[in-house]
């Protein structure tokens, strides 16, 4: 994701820092756990967000639909679902991954997301967000047919040089919709 020096993106009111921006270290983001870069650029992005919010440049009229959620309990086992998501991510999206394992992970996570669609409470919303995040990581990795930095595919070793410096956000909104059978980009 491309940002300016204050973390602003090309989407009004959206700021980014850390690994999502590629950062100072490019694709080799294994040092992300050191927190130096996200702290510095997160602070800068936060300062700019506060400044632009106080100037009225960021809208207050964002509706998340939380008031529509029912106050009932989950009918599925949340801890088992999280355990399954972690297992899929570790075994199929982790350090040693292949194109096939990434596709399998996206499909498995998609099925988990479909099973959560009938739940309508705050816990389900939070759980769906976790599954969506895992699915997005697996799906994005599955459609990228190259190794990049320390993020290697066991079956594809080379990097594609023609993509360097050309990744941009082209849409201003993204809607997640689980596919019925195969993982497809929403």
**pLDDT tens digits, residue range 142-172?**
888 887 776 778 888 777 776 666 555 555 5
Number of domains within the chain:
2
Residue 31, domain extent: 1-62
Report DSSP state, residue 150: T
pTM of the model: 0.59
Residue ending a domain, among 12, 40, 62, is 62
Q: CA 161, 166, 169 angle in degrees (round to 5)? A: 145
If asked whether residues 132 and 86 sit together in one domain, one would say yes
For residue range 31-79, list pLDDT tens digits in order: 555 567 778 888 999 999 888 877 765 555 555 566 666 666 777 888 9
Residue ending a domain, among 62, 89, 110, is 62
Residue ending a domain, among 11, 38, 62, is 62
């Amino acid at each position: 994701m491309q940002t300016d020096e204050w973390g602003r993106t090309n989407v009004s009111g959206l700021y980014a820092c850390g690994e999502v921006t590629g950062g100072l270290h490019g694709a080799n983001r294994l040092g992300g756990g050191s927190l130096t870069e996200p702290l510095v650029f997160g602070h800068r992005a936060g300062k700019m967000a506060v400044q632009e919010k106080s100037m009225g440049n960021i809208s207050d009229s964002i509706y998340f639909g939380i008031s529509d959620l029912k106050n009932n309990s989950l009918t599925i086992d949340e801890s088992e679902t999280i355990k399954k998501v972690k297992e899929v991510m570790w075994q199929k999206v982790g350090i040693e991954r292949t194109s096939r394992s990434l596709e399998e992970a996206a499909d498995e996570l998609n099925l988990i997301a479909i099973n959560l669609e009938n739940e309508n409470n705050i816990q389900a919303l939070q759980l769906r967000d976790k599954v969506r995040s895992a699915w997005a990581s697996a799906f994005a990795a599955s459609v990228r047919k190259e190794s990049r930095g320390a993020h290697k595919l066991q079956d594809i070793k080379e990097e594609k040089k023609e993509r360097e410096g050309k990744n941009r956000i082209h849409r201003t909104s993204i809607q997640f919709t689980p596919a019925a059978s195969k993982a497809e980009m929403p």
